[in-house]
Amino acid sequence: MERTNLSMHIARAPVGLPARADFALVEEPMPQPAEGEVLFRAIYMSLDPSMRRKLPAPDGVPGPLGGTRQVGELMIAGLPPPARGYTGGFVGQVVESRHPGFAQGDLVQGGCWWQTYQVLPGDSLEQLPPGTKASEAIGLLGQHGFVAWCGMRNIGKAKPGETVLVSAAGGAIGMIAGQLAKADGARVIGIASGDKVAYVVDELGFDACIDRKNENVAVGLDRLCPDGIDVYFDNVGGDVMLAAYERMADFGRIVVCGMASEYNAPEQPFGASLRPVLRKRLRIEGFVVYDHYEAQFAQFRAEMQALIDAGRMKYRIEVIDGFAEAPAALARLLDGRNKGKVVVQLSPDRSVVT
């Protein structure tokens, strides 16, 4: 085990997209677990667009930027304790345990700081079943899979023959949401950019995909959804959400999952008129995945594992090497230049070879 711990602190408030110089990579002393705590070594850190909102705003800049962290502080991923388990942050391996529920070598999910080694209360970590692939636990079978599943199962509820639209369709959550709708017999249209446009159609089996950087989204929706949209799984908010909202079919459902187009925006976008919600009897419902773990995670795991085993769920991961590359990768994620689920690898993955 190393003697020092690589940690990423916030060096300054980003202006626009985050950059490497907004962060400082610091070597800190190795933390020691106290009674009830666990020291784990991070293997993968999940990179999420909403991390942009955790960074501070430049001084004197009004608006929605400016999150929970300040200059000089450790950067954060996922939720800090007392939040438990699948907080979206890390998959790692236990190095030393002073908690009766964990032993050296156990694969765990949890953690919150941009650090290679983290000490956390054992009660805040989730033990992963033996044989788990760390690369699947950080996405498909972890928080991102569960987010897509909750949105589709609890709100979208796609029926055979319905038209389902998924934005950020080639991203971590969109990839899964669309395939779940396909498995339910729906016609699935994606919105994406870059090589993700071809990927979601050719590899994931979506029926079509609008290239939002090369076609006006509203025009593309009129072309591909002439009878309206029954379910819109919204990962991005903003103009794309407005274009979809105006083309919802009667009794349509909008799954408000996230607003990736807005996380880097210095101003709050204009809201939409809610008149069509009444006229078309739409259902627009937001959700936060943390509310559903206790009641539904086991059901999700079983269903997702069955789809993976049947070859009906594909997924791609872009692995970034270490913290130093993470700010640039976060910027690429925020403007759509990622290729699937983005994770930062912080130490060797000795779980089942993928």
Ligand X SMILES: NC(=O)c1ccc[n+]([C@@H]2O[C@H](COP(=O)([O-])OP(=O)(O)OC[C@H]3O[C@@H](n4cnc5c(N)ncnc54)[C@H](OP(=O)(O)O)[C@@H]3O)[C@@H](O)[C@H]2O)c1
Kindly list the residues in this chain that would bind ligand X in the complex (CB under 6 A): 48-50, 147, 167-168, 170-174, 191-193, 196, 212, 235-236, 238, 240, 257-261, 287-289, 333, 335-336, 338
Closest CA to 343 of 351, 352, 333: 333
33/174 with CB nearer ligand X: 174
User: Least distance (Å) from ligand X to the CB of residue 36?
Assistant: 28
6/148 with CB nearer ligand X: 148
CA distance 33 to 35: 7
177/346 with CB nearer ligand X: 177
User: Least distance (Å) from ligand X to the CB of residue 171?
Assistant: 2
Q: What are the backbone angles phi and psi of residue 26, rounded to the nearest 5°?
A: -120, 140
The residue type found at 270 is: F
User: Least distance (Å) from ligand X to the CB of residue 9?
Assistant: 23
User: Least distance (Å) from ligand X to the CB of residue 21?
Assistant: 22
User: Least distance (Å) from ligand X to the CB of residue 298?
Assistant: 18
CA distance 346 to 27: 14
User: Least distance (Å) from ligand X to the CB of residue 273?
Assistant: 20
201/289 with CB nearer ligand X: 289
CA distance 239 to 353: 41
Helices (H), ranges, the chain: 134-137, 143-150, 172-183, 196-202, 217-224, 238-245, 275-279, 293-309, 326-334
Phi-psi region of 30 (alpha: psi -120 to 50; beta: other; left: phi over 0): beta
176/186 with CB nearer ligand X: 176
160 upstream amide cis, omega within 30 of 0? no
99/196 with CB nearer ligand X: 196
